[in-house]
Structure 1
């Protein structure tokens, strides 16, 4: 059991049960998965960018990233069906808890002029999406070896039914939301 998962079991879960008064412990919101996505439009022209993104995403997630491909051809973007346009990975269980711990405690504090995460990223069902402009905030990546600055979309999927429950869950897990 990871450190953050243990905190969830011992502190967060009872706190949520007390605050929202659930009738069953199965109603307590929990993390289901974390999805990481890098979109690279220029990757259709340059395969090296895609390969670098896959290697970087694999090193930070500890799981092999999958190349995403275009579903439709778009002539104005010089894009054909099946061309590589990004990469993604879905984390569950232990890797999910490790990544969230790393994101909250190591990566986000390394962001320049960090004032907290905006809470606009909730989707109405308790899931949260966060955009990161530079992957270099993660300690696994060596800044010298990164040729192209890439961004990252992090989607945290919870079992919460409302945004308020989802925000409470993530706040108790240590996500630094803006005041």
Structure 2
């Protein structure tokens, strides 16, 4: 059991049950999965970019990433069907908890002039999406070896029924939202 998962079971879940008045432990919101995505439009011109992004996302996630390919050809973007355009990873169970712990406690505090995360990223069902502009904030990435700084999307999928429940869950787990 990871450190953050232990915190969830011992402190966060009972506090959520008390605050929202859940009668059954199955009603208490929990995190189901975390999805990481790097989209690289320039990868159609430069294949080394996609290889670097694939390796770096694999290092960040601790799990092999999947290269995503174009579904349709778009002449204006010089894109053909089947060309690599990004990479993604789906994290669950222990790797999910490890990544969330690393994101909250190590990566986000390394962001320059960090003021907190805006809470606009909720989708209405308790899921949260966060855009990261610089992937070098993660400790696994050696800045000297990075050719191009890449951005990434982090989507945290919860079982919460509303944005309020999802925000309280993530706040109790240490997500630094703006006040």
TM bucket, shorter chain: over 0.9
Q: Does 1:9 align with 2:14?
A: no
The answer for the alignment partner of 1:173 in structure 2 is: 173
**Alpha-carbon distance between aligned partners in 2 of 1:162 and 1:132, rounded to the nearest angstrom:** 24
The answer for the alignment partner of 1:26 in structure 2 is: 26
| RMSD (Å), alpha carbons | 0.4
- What is the TM-score of this pair, normalised by structure 1? 0.99
Number of equivalent positions:
179
Superposed CA deviations along residues 121-162 of structure 1, whole A, max 9, x for unmatched, are 000000000000001101110000000110010000000010
**Alpha-carbon distance between aligned partners in 2 of 1:57 and 1:46, rounded to the nearest angstrom:** 18
The answer for the alignment partner of 1:115 in structure 2 is: 115
How far the C-alpha of 1:23 sits from its partner, in A, is 1.6
Q: Does 1:65 align with 2:65?
A: yes
**Alpha-carbon distance between aligned partners in 2 of 1:108 and 1:74, rounded to the nearest angstrom:** 36
**Alpha-carbon distance between aligned partners in 1 of 2:2 and 2:152, rounded to the nearest angstrom:** 24
**Alpha-carbon distance between aligned partners in 1 of 2:76 and 2:152, rounded to the nearest angstrom:** 25
How far the C-alpha of 1:168 sits from its partner, in A, is 0.3
Q: Does 1:50 align with 2:59?
A: no
The answer for the alignment partner of 1:102 in structure 2 is: 102
- What is the TM-score of this pair, normalised by structure 2? 0.99
Structure-to-structure mapping, 1:82-161, within 5 angstroms: 82-161=82-161
Which consecutive unaligned segments of at least 5 residues does structure 2 have? Answer: none
Secondary structure of 1:147's aligned partner: coil
Secondary structure of 1:86's aligned partner: strand
* Deviant stretches of 4+, over 4 Å: none
Which consecutive unaligned segments of at least 5 residues does structure 1 have? Answer: none
